[in-house]
Amino acid sequence: MSLHALCVWLAATPLGHLLQAHQWMVPAIQTIHILCIAIVFPAMALFCLRLVLLAGSSRHLTETARRRLPWAWWALLALLATGTLLIFAEPTRELPNPAFQAKMAMLAVALVLTAWCQGSGNRGAAGKRFALGPVAVRIAGGCALVLWVGILVAGRWIAYMIDT
Amino acid sequence: MNAIAALLKAIQASGLGTAVRESDWLFPVIETVHVLALVTVVGTVGRLDLRLCGLLGRGRSVADLARELLPWTWTAFGLAALSGLLMFSSAASKYAANPFFEIKLALLAMAGVNMLAFQFGAGRSMARWSAAARPPVGARVAGLLSLALWVAVVAAGRWIGYTMH
């Protein structure tokens, strides 16, 4: 099945029809999507900053992770759900869109890096107060931070790179 | 009324307004900064609001959390206001006439008033209840109001984008 055929099929599903039937649905879902980003992004960014720069260093790395990340992972699930709805609503706006594709690629890498950093904190490798993690964790945290910003930027640019 | 209309026209005719309007990439870049800033504002304020309501992170004092988060909030708010102003300058008359833009400004003003009311109300005795799992009713109400207002600000902002054409 080609990407185009997939888009046509998604838009023609009952869910696709429902989402296209009411003009307010897409902005409403986008609003929820942005509110979830407001939960995920600061949490991920502050966690990564803690890894790289010692922001909030009066706390253990493990404590930073334990406080910030559970909420971020739940909100991330809500982001995936609302994002999926937005794809059903306007598949041709999203799937063939280079900004969307870049966003998904960056998301995959950012998730792996952040989870790995969190795991390394949990394993106690960097659990000391005032301590930085191992160099590898710091680098991974820095890359993840850049990626989280990149995901947000790419998300905004989906609207400007729609294939017509 | 005519003075305001003239001012709005002058804003969008200014070099800045013209540059933002006519550039292919300036507006999306500014808009991206706006989103980056606003999610930071809403995320950090919302976190503090939930603590004020006594709903989340009760293990930490309000003062401790505020010390950590508010510098990010204010920096991001400055950026959001600046980027918002730049976008506004590109089509001042149209924005001013947009009902969702007007609602958003009103909601922002209410969030500001709510914050001041908290500062001069329950916030004055914060040292006494900062560590309490359940802050006094004034603080809980302020937290809940703030949360609702910021959610509404985001929604109104999103709807501006769908009603500007």
> Model confidence over A38-60: pLDDT tens digits?
999 999 998 888 888 765 555 55
Which letter, b or e, does each residue of B92-110 get, where b requires 16 or more Cβ atoms within 10 Å of its Cβ? beebbebebbebbbebbeb
B43 contacts in chain A (CB < 8 Å)? 38-39, 41-43
Domain total in chain A? 1
- What integer pLDDT is reported at residue A129 of this predicted model? 47
pLDDT, mean of residues B126-141 = 91
pLDDT tens-digit series, residues A63-112: 666 666 788 889 999 999 999 999 999 999 999 999 999 999 999 999 99
Domain total in chain B? 1
The verdict on B57 touching A (C-beta cutoff 8 Å) is yes
Tell me whether residue B20 is in a domain: yes
Show the tokens assigned to A101.
């594709």
Tell me whether residue B47 is in a domain: yes
- What integer pLDDT is reported at residue A130 of this predicted model? 45
Of the residues B24, B27, B36, the best mutation for testing chain A's interface (the one with the most A CB atoms within 10 Å of its CB) is B36
| C-alpha to C-alpha distance for A83 and B138, rounded to whole angstroms | 37
Tell me whether residue B55 is in a domain: yes
Domain range for A122: 3-160
pLDDT tens-digit series, residues A101-144: 999 999 999 999 988 887 776 555 444 544 566 788 888 889 99
Tell me whether residue B165 is in a domain: no
pLDDT tens-digit series, residues B31-45: 999 999 999 999 999
Domain range for B117: 2-160
> Cα A9–A13–A15 angle (5° rounding)?
135
| Claim: this prediction has a pTM higher than 0.90 | yes
Nearest to A82 by CA among A23, A45, A27: A27
pLDDT, mean of residues B1-29 = 94
The verdict on B154 touching A (C-beta cutoff 8 Å) is yes
Cβ atoms A87, A3 nearer than 8 A: no
For residue B56, give every residue at least 6 positions away whose Cβ sits within 8 Å of its Cβ, in sequence order, or none: B47, B50
- What integer pLDDT is reported at residue B123 of this predicted model? 87
